[in-house]
Amino acid sequence: MTEEEEGSRPGIELSSAGGCMETAAAMCEKRESMTEDGYTTDDPVLSLIGDTPIVEFPQDFAGELFIKLEKENPTGSMKDRIALGMVLEMEKSGELTDGDLIVEASSGNTAGGVALVANRLGYESVITTPQTTTPQKTGYVKAFGSDLVECPDVDSSSEDHYRNTAERIAENRGGVFLDQYHNQLNPEVHKKWTGPELWGQVDDLTHVVCPMGTGGTLSGIGKYIKQKDESVEIVGVDADKSNISSAFYGEEPVEYCTGIEGLGKGSETPTMWFDYIDRVASVDDETAMAWTRKSAEEHGLLIGPSSGAALSVATKIAEKDGDANIAMIACDGGEQYFDTI
Ligand SMILES: Cc1ncc(COP(=O)(O)O)c(C=O)c1O
């Protein structure tokens, strides 16, 4: 933190839609009041996070399909929300205080979000990634001045795996590991923020369709929406050679392998709240890429490949169900994938 920023961090507000949070005395200087609109901040850059637009998919179906464009967040994905929300909540609970080192492991979008939030809030940060992470993603980490630790692309049981490396760095340097794969704040932030936002954007919502990795986005949205209307169908989208769907349906695990960034997982993680999810559809890489291209070529809507996978599922529902009002989460945009789509 620079001298100028020290003690004069912009006011940041924590809120819990429908809930009530007490502001800890220690945080009073930084947090001024609560709002009904999720996490808001006076910081001019961080205040760009959230409140993303939703657009009607420009094709006629029997039902209605709306796409929520999370690429409009400052580092281009919904992961900016959990980066900000986790940090604010952990400050509030006292797990994180000024001067701490923030450590996070990410193979993609979370890296940029955490690097941005750490930059604006004056934390030193280290981000570990697998070596295969694209420059489009690691670029944010370098640009915002986080330390980037690139790890070999090895099995999660190896001590060199990027998540295990992050855990070790946090231990050795007395840092705070955010740990999006296990931290319940990941889905919680989406329950408090993205869920209410989405609920206010689509009238008579019938379905939510969302790609799954950690499961945090869909789980949080799903829990909020189910509390509002139990009948809304919450649909997860997984890669076909992946184990979210096999864990959900109690099937034998398969060898995890997909080229679709952010989509799928090798095994179930505690951030997947299956109780609020009705079904999980599996999509192969070719179908995901075909729908990503189709969305851009035929409809001028540039979405990332995990969103292409979700679009293949959402359009099927929209074709069949004339009463459907579907909200699909487009986690990021195609701008990050011009070399592959
Ligand atoms: C592009 C993209 N799509 C989907 C996901 C999955 O989101 P979640 O981890 O919230 O399930 C991610 C996660 O990194 C992502 O980066």
For residue 214, the CA-to-ligand 1 centroid distance in Å is: 7
Q: CB under 8 Å to 34, separation ≥6 — which residues? A: 13, 14, 15, 16, 20, 21, 23
| Ligand 1 atom having least distance to the Cα of 212 | 11
Length of the chain equals 341
| Residue 216 Cα to ligand 1 middle (Å) | 8
Distance 262 CA to ligand 1 centre (A): 4
Q: What average pLDDT score do residues 68-73 get?
A: 98
> 105 or 34, which is more confident?
105
114's tokens: 């955490």
pLDDT at res. 317:
98
- pLDDT reading at 34 higher than 80: no
- Pocket probe mutation, ligand 1, options 67, 306, 313, max atoms within 8 Å of Cβ: 306
* Opening angle at CA 172, ends 167 and 174, nearest 5: 90
CA neighbours closer than 13 Å in the CB half-sphere of residue 111: 31
From 68, 73, 75, 79, give the residue whose CB has the most ligand 1 atoms within 8 Å, as the site to mutate: 79
What's the rounded Cα separation, in Å, for the pair 207 and 248? 18
23 pLDDT above the threshold of 50: no
- How far, in Å, from the CA of 24 to the mean position of ligand 1? 31
**Residue 338: count of CB within 10 angstroms of its CB:** 9
**d(Cα 235, Cα 222) in Å, to the nearest integer?**
9
Using a 10 angstrom Cβ sphere, with 0-12 exposed, 13-18 middle and 19 or more buried, the burial of residue 329 is: buried
Q: Which residues pair with 150 in a beta bridge?
A: 129
Residue 164 dihedral angles phi and psi, to the nearest 5°: -65, -35
Flag whether the pTM goes above 0.85: yes
**In angstroms, what is the span from residue 112 Cα to ligand 1's centroid?**
13
Which residues are near ligand 1 (CB < 6 Å)? Answer: 77, 79, 108-110, 211-217, 261-263, 304, 306, 331-332
Residues 257-284, mean pLDDT to the nearest whole number = 96
Ligand 1: residue of 261, 283, 313 to mutate (most ligand atoms within 8 A of CB) is 261
Q: Which amino acid is at 287?
A: T
Q: Which atom of ligand 1 is nearest to the CA of 82?
A: 10
Which ligand 1 atom is nearest residue 186's CA? 10
Q: What are phi and psi of 23, to 5 degrees?
A: -80, 120
Inform me whether the pLDDT recorded for 283 exceeds 60. Answer: yes
Q: Is 324 within 8 Å of 64 (Cβ atoms)?
A: yes
Spatial separation of the C-alpha atoms in residues 232 and 10, rounded to whole Å:
38
For residues 229-236, give the mean pLDDT.
98
Q: What is the pLDDT of residues 235-250, one digit of tens each?
A: 999 999 999 999 999 9
Listed by start position, the domains of the chain span 54-77+185-337, 79-177
Segments of 240-297 assigned E as strands: 279-283
Residue 271 contacts residue 181 (beta carbons within 8 Å): yes
Whether 31 shows a pLDDT value over 90: the answer reads: no
Distance CA 118, CA 114 (A): 6
Take atom 2 of ligand 1 and give the residue whose Cα is closest: 262
Span 154-167, mean pLDDT? 94
SS3 content of the chain, % helix, strand, coil (to 5): 40, 15, 45
Q: Which fold has domain 79-177?
A: Rossmann fold (3.40.50)
CA 142 to chain centre: 20
DSSP bridge partners of 54: 68
pLDDT in tens, 99-153: 999 999 998 899 999 999 999 999 999 999 999 999 999 999 999 999 999 999 9
Question: In this prediction, what percent of the chain has a pLDDT beyond 90?
Answer: 86
User: Can you tell me which residue has the tokens 């609020």?
Assistant: 276
- Whether 42 shows a pLDDT value over 90: the answer reads no
Q: Do domains 54-77+185-337 and 79-177 have the same CATH topology?
A: yes
CATH (residue range 54-77+185-337): 3.40.50.1100
Task: Tell me how far the alpha carbon of residue 4 lies from the centroid of ligand 1, in angstroms.
Answer: 35
Best CA proximity match to 331, nearest among 312, 305, 295, 313 = 305
* Protein residue closest via CA to atom 5 of ligand 1: 262
C-alpha of residue 7 to centroid of ligand 1, in Å: 34
Supply the mean pLDDT for the chain: 90
**Bridge partners of 281?**
237
> Can you name the residues that pair with 139 across neighbouring β-strands?
none
